[in-house]
Structure 1
Amino acid sequence: MRLFKYSFYLLLVIFISCSTVKIPDTIEQIDQNDIYKHLSFLASDELKGRGTGTPENDRAAEYIAKYFSTIGLTPKGSSGYFQKFKVTTDLELQKNNSLIVNVNNETIQFELKKDFQPTGFSANGAIEGDLVFAGYGIEAEDLGYNDYADIDVKDKIVLIMRYSPDGEKPDTKFGFKVQSNFKVTIAKSKGAKGVILFTGPNTLENDKLISLIPDPSAMNAGIPVVSISTNKAIEIFEKAGRNLLEIQKQMDTTQQSKSFAFENARVKLQVELKPIVKETRNVIALLEGNDPVLKDEVVVVGAHYDHLGMGGRGSLASTKEPQIHNGADDNASGTSGLLELAEFFASKKSELKRSILFIAFSGEELGLLGSKFFVENPTIPLDKIVAMINMDMIGRLTENKLTIYGTGTSPRWKQLLNRLNSDSTFKYNFIDGGFGPSDHSSFYGKNIPVLFFFTGTHQDYHKPSDDFDKINYKGMESILNLVSNVLIDITTTPDKIEFTKVQGESQQQGRRMNVRVYIGTIPDYSEQVEGFKISGVNDGSPAEKAGLKAGDIIIKFGDKPVKNIYDYMYAMQGYKPGDVVDVIVLREGQELKLSITLGSR
């Protein structure tokens, strides 16, 4: 907590502790002072970063619900203003976690949390086996590189370095194959019993254990997986008469694998983790329109109110020590904008034809979980929702540059936005696609037109320094005036809001992953399942032509079992465009076999 904020926080605590929200005067315009009032509370140290599943996240939800009630909005959750759902927020180490490596009859002991730690995608289990070094654990025949070419890992425990021969470069030619989850998938597919990950001594970021943080895209790799310190990895190699640093340097220089099986090395590994499941809540309120017909059509206005809490997963802080991540821009800004718009339109209720559903989502930082849960468990019929407007990080307007996602999801959007900006207040950056890094994606996946307003990332993004004193309140006022005018147009005029599927969007995402074939499935991270669950398919895609549907869980692709997204990505590697692949999906509890003709990128 900064010293100059202390007296303000003290007054704020006194105000909030009174457990009432001051009834606002009816407003006729968006007011930056109102925005500041909401934002400075939501992003205060008092709320400790609003981490999903924390008491402070609940306090933020109560604040939002109370404000909705105060301005006269109708509760539209499953329980009053709230829609409850459960999330896995953490993993807890249990008593049975151990690692012992014996090399040439010398035993190396590992201390939990210091020398080794299970990963967030490890399976529970006790295993024992011979040790094999699989280099970087990468199989990329098209690049002339294969760490598995000269070794057999069946029924073995595999030792794998993180990253790649390119080092830590984010734009490595190996693409997504450098991801630890994916490396584990490859090892498992080749029969490995377990995997030990470590950072090589020739890599800049060395001697760091992988955090024990749940991964919604791969909660269970299917085999035990741990990470060990660089120093312990060096010790293993030394006792085997080998120099790890020199081996890694040769690999990095020659871009050739140096994999081998240890001659006399045995591993005993045990992992026992307990998922910590907590309850959190979306906050939902309805402002009903007045037209006898159009009031049944609903425009959703949304913003996520959760953030990173005390750091950890997703934090970009320079230290991993727990610190309050206030998330002023991400996304107290959007939440404050949501409350201001709710109050603004409550004062104009008599002018509305269509209804407006205001939703404050939780669980966004864990993988859009709140919005995913809503579209799978809507409190109003999805076919009544005609558009979704999302606000996420709208507090750092600079040089009037405003990014708007989803402008290609309805033919109405660009014309409307340009007309409302006839005085060139904003320098627009239009992005046609409806998928993107926020909650609008969940609605676009259900064929609903979307707009997502965003002022861009900055040096405080996902850091403790994202504080409310850095918000451009005047800029927020301008953005909310624009959003309010968009809403006035689409809620007071009878014109239909047509939906357009943006073509080629997934192909672009796929090219970044260096995948040769195109299928057109859209991942669903809303719940942890065994398999690869999809939230939808792209129009005209091979997936759609094969009959895949939203909610399907792919459990087998060709001859390879699929337990998570990384299994799915790996399974695609053996195919080329034009191949016909049989897939097994679970649909409503029943197994179904479908044939997909793979497309090209």
Structure 2
Amino acid sequence: TFAQDPATAGDNLVSRPASQPVETFSVNISSPSDAAIARMRKDLEFIASDALKGRDSGSEGIRMAADFIVNRYNEIGVRTDAFDGSPFQPFEIPGNLAPTGPENNRITFSSGDKRPTLKLGEDFVPLTLGSSEKFSGKLVFAGYGITAPELDYDDYADVPVEGNVVIVVRREPQQMDAGSKFNGTENTTHAFFRAKLGNARTHKAAAVLFVNDRQTAESDAGDILFRVDEAGTAPSAMQVPMLHVKRASIDPIIKEALGKDLAELEAEIDTDAKPRSAVVGAVTVEGQSDIARARVRVRNVIGVIDGVGDLAKEYVVVGAHYDHVGMGGRASFSGGLYEIHNGADDNGSGTVSLLEIARRLKEMNDAAPRRTVLLMSFTAEEKGLLGSERYVSYPRWPLEDTVAMLNLDMVGRLTNNNLELWGTGTGDTFSEMIGRLNEKYRFDLTIKPQGTGPSDHASFNAVGIPVFHFFTKLHGQYHRPSDDVELVNFEGMERIVSMVTDATNEIATSTRRPRYIGSTPRRRAVLGILLGSVNDGVAVSQVNADSPAEGAGMEPGDVIIQLDGKEVKTTQDLRQIMSAKSPGEEITVSVRRGEGDSAKTIDLELRLGTG
């Protein structure tokens, strides 16, 4: 679900071409539902395995998931040739910020006849916290890069910094000393990356070469380089390149010029909390940082069960997104943890449910008349419903002939028999049909008549297509590494699959198509951000490229506290305020930026975009 607020593959399906059928498997069963549960469990153990590394859009893991889906369709007999002989609807989305290449990201030192050059990705990495530009100057060791007059400490006091390149150590002096004037063993705001970069800019440094502190380098993790965006993203005003350099890559240069290596300099600072800043001999440095947002090629996967007779050229869509949040990071609800997020429920459950629904529909009687069923596995839902929005913007089949869309998102955690069902008010036959079907399945339904919400059905509702959205609600493992297979309620999932199959079959065979009766479709107003929760506002985890938020200067890490003067404490507050807004409307977003005493409130003016 789009964030607003032990088994192996077994069949090794992904190693086969999509066109090659895969073997079926047999299990000892006592009922058809037992067979379905066994199939879904086996499929989910692959889709939510560590091998797929969280199925982030554009990743190798999601490519493996797409091939797996297609192989299952080929096994079932679902048609997979809708796009010039392929099941894939390809398109591009904005990717992550990344270095543009070694020719534009370089560091070369000069001292006499020596010109050591560092290697991108091995010795250093540019950081998005800094700017992208060329730099040059003398090399200056600037300690921890701290100016703290209240603590009688200034790494910049006695060295020529303006126009030169500074080496800055992570964290603070005396970090292991409980009696340190730098708040004992706790960090002060001077330790923050943004504070160090801002201080370097204040002193007009040409660039910052950032190195891990001794304690970090000697820890189990070792002296590893940051990911390019790990230190955050700087506002445009902080025009100073910042590059993370391995200690081993810069230590020999410092040792030769100053007679001491980084560890010795840090130890001296720790003895008396006095700076040891110095010009690094006659060494000069020249380099460049160049980071850009890549374009990532992604794919919706679409299978077809052909209709029969007069209704064959009308279409029923059954969909589920198959992406998740990959390695987490800013999309993780575990404090930005960088670890595999398998997404067994979100949305591995919907992905494998769609495969089981496809199998059952294919096995049903093909007697005419019957509408064509389109089985859609959407990519990039976690990036903001991008896969489904791509389809409705560039449909393979006419939208005016698409009679309904049924969506499954997070259907694997049925608890207390409670199933949440959205969209019953979008089709004139939907409420009666669901009431009748539920006499058989006996769910404790939570009915949401609207067709809006944070999943792919909303894209279809926005273009006037009646929708259903099946959902078993949020839980404590949402967008966390703990969303794993062993927590899935397969028996409950099988019952949901049975209800959705019956609903799909009824819509596909009824001589009367449902009439859209939802509110007048309108495109939703958007800021162009992904969100996470904090205690007293809504955190911005990502700012989409070319979005209203980016244009206004909003940054990852900002916390939204007001929107047009209305207080925002939760994602629900934000959604409620935004639901009354229209694309093109001008609004003021108040954000808190920074931490602790350095935090400040900024008002951003922007014109809402269309989503």
TM-score by length of 1: 0.56
Alignment of 1:323-472 (within 5 A): 323-348=339-364, 350-351=366-367, 353-423=370-440, 425-472=442-489
- Report if aligned partners of 2:419, 2:446 keep a CA contact under 8 Å in 1: yes
After TM superposition, give the deviation of residue 508 of structure 1 in Å: 12
**CA gap 1:395/1:505 in 2 versus in 1, 3 angstroms:** farther
Q: Distance in 2 between matches of 1:542 and 1:462?
A: 28
CA deviation profile, 1:378-414 (whole Å, cap 9, x unmatched): 1111111111111010000001101111222112222
CA deviation profile, 1:517-544 (whole Å, cap 9, x unmatched): xxxxxxxx999546699xxxxxxx996x
After TM superposition, give the deviation of residue 72 of structure 1 in Å: 1.8
**CA gap 1:318/1:72 in 2 versus in 1, 3 angstroms:** same
SS at 2:439 equivalent: coil
Q: Distance in 2 between matches of 1:425 and 1:303?
A: 23
Out of 273, 291, 309, which is 1:273 matched to?
291
- Report if aligned partners of 2:463, 2:522 keep a CA contact under 8 Å in 1: no
After TM superposition, give the deviation of residue 419 of structure 1 in Å: 1.0
**CA gap 1:409/1:463 in 2 versus in 1, 3 angstroms:** same
After TM superposition, give the deviation of residue 505 of structure 1 in Å: 10
Q: What letter is aligned with 2:348?
A: A
In the alignment, structure 1 residue 313 sits paired with structure 2 residue 330: yes
Structure with bigger gyration radius: 2
- Percent identity for Structure 1 against Structure 2: 33
Q: What letter is aligned with 1:416?
A: M
1:73 alignment partner in structure 2: 78
- Report if aligned partners of 2:11, 2:23 keep a CA contact under 8 Å in 1: no
2:40 alignment partner in structure 1: 35
**CA gap 1:398/1:80 in 2 versus in 1, 3 angstroms:** same
After TM superposition, give the deviation of residue 33 of structure 1 in Å: 1.3
Q: Distance in 2 between matches of 1:476 and 1:367?
A: 25
Q: Distance in 2 between matches of 1:79 and 1:276?
A: 28
1:232 alignment partner in structure 2: none
After TM superposition, give the deviation of residue 93 of structure 1 in Å: 4.4
- Report if aligned partners of 2:461, 2:521 keep a CA contact under 8 Å in 1: no
**CA gap 1:371/1:41 in 2 versus in 1, 3 angstroms:** same
After TM superposition, give the deviation of residue 54 of structure 1 in Å: 1.0
After TM superposition, give the deviation of residue 70 of structure 1 in Å: 2.2
Alignment of 1:124-135 (within 5 A): none
Q: Distance in 2 between matches of 1:303 and 1:96?
A: 40
In the alignment, structure 1 residue 88 sits paired with structure 2 residue 94: yes
- Report if aligned partners of 2:329, 2:336 keep a CA contact under 8 Å in 1: no
Q: Any stretches of 5+ residues in structure 2 without a counterpart?
A: 1-5, 108-123, 136-225, 243-287, 528-541, 551-579, 588-601
After TM superposition, give the deviation of residue 276 of structure 1 in Å: 2.2
Q: What letter is aligned with 1:87?
A: I
Q: Distance in 1 between matches of 2:457 and 2:231?
A: 23
Q: Any stretches of 5+ residues in structure 1 without a counterpart?
A: 99-113, 128-208, 229-269, 511-524, 534-540, 549-553, 559-566, 573-582, 587-601
- Report if aligned partners of 2:54, 2:327 keep a CA contact under 8 Å in 1: yes
Alignment of 1:186-205 (within 5 A): none
1:21 alignment partner in structure 2: 22
Alignment of 1:490-509 (within 5 A): 490-502=507-519
Q: What letter is aligned with 2:90?
A: K
The 4+ residue runs of structure 1 with deviation greater than 4 A are 13-20, 27-30, 93-98, 122-127, 219-228, 503-510, 525-533
Alignment of 1:43-192 (within 5 A): 43-74=48-79, 75-77=81-83, 80-93=86-99, 118=128
SS at 2:481 equivalent: coil
Q: Which moved more, 1:463-472 or 1:389-398?
A: 463-472
2:303 alignment partner in structure 1: 285
Q: Distance in 1 between matches of 2:501 and 2:51?
A: 30
Q: What letter is aligned with 1:59?
A: M
After TM superposition, give the deviation of residue 88 of structure 1 in Å: 2.2
- Report if aligned partners of 2:131, 2:239 keep a CA contact under 8 Å in 1: yes
- Report if aligned partners of 2:345, 2:483 keep a CA contact under 8 Å in 1: yes
Q: Distance in 2 between matches of 1:374 and 1:214?
A: 35
**CA gap 1:97/1:378 in 2 versus in 1, 3 angstroms:** farther
After TM superposition, give the deviation of residue 272 of structure 1 in Å: 4.2
Q: Distance in 2 between matches of 1:83 and 1:221?
A: 36
Q: Distance in 2 between matches of 1:542 and 1:431?
A: 21
Q: Distance in 2 between matches of 1:125 and 1:484?
A: 56
Q: Distance in 2 between matches of 1:413 and 1:213?
A: 47
In the alignment, structure 1 residue 570 sits paired with structure 2 residue 608: no
SS at 1:61 equivalent: helix
Alignment of 1:223-242 (within 5 A): none
SS at 2:309 equivalent: coil
Q: What letter is aligned with 1:67?
A: R
SS at 2:459 equivalent: helix
Q: Distance in 2 between matches of 1:489 and 1:300?
A: 13
Root-mean-square deviation (CA), in Å?
Answer: 4.7
**CA gap 1:382/1:349 in 2 versus in 1, 3 angstroms:** farther
Q: Distance in 2 between matches of 1:569 and 1:49?
A: 34
2:197 alignment partner in structure 1: none
How many residue pairs align between the two structures? 392
- Report if aligned partners of 1:557, 1:568 keep a CA contact under 8 Å in 2: no
Q: Distance in 2 between matches of 1:440 and 1:214?
A: 35
SS at 1:421 equivalent: helix
After TM superposition, give the deviation of residue 92 of structure 1 in Å: 1.4
Q: What letter is aligned with 2:482?
A: S
SS at 2:302 equivalent: strand
Q: What letter is aligned with 1:493?
A: S
TM-score by length of 2: 0.55
**CA gap 1:306/1:506 in 2 versus in 1, 3 angstroms:** closer
Q: Distance in 2 between matches of 1:53 and 1:41?
A: 18
1:12 alignment partner in structure 2: 10
- Report if aligned partners of 1:301, 1:338 keep a CA contact under 8 Å in 2: yes
- Report if aligned partners of 1:210, 1:227 keep a CA contact under 8 Å in 2: no
Q: What letter is aligned with 2:128?
A: P
Q: Distance in 2 between matches of 1:308 and 1:68?
A: 25
SS at 1:33 equivalent: helix
Q: Distance in 2 between matches of 1:221 and 1:295?
A: 54
Q: Distance in 2 between matches of 1:319 and 1:476?
A: 30
Q: Distance in 1 between matches of 2:13 and 2:343?
A: 21
Q: What letter is aligned with 1:61?
A: A
After TM superposition, give the deviation of residue 290 of structure 1 in Å: 1.2
After TM superposition, give the deviation of residue 318 of structure 1 in Å: 4.8
After TM superposition, give the deviation of residue 277 of structure 1 in Å: 2.0
- Report if aligned partners of 2:543, 2:549 keep a CA contact under 8 Å in 1: no
After TM superposition, give the deviation of residue 466 of structure 1 in Å: 0.9
2:498 alignment partner in structure 1: 481
Q: What letter is aligned with 1:500?
A: I
**CA gap 1:306/1:353 in 2 versus in 1, 3 angstroms:** same
Q: Distance in 2 between matches of 1:372 and 1:36?
A: 30
**CA gap 1:509/1:58 in 2 versus in 1, 3 angstroms:** closer
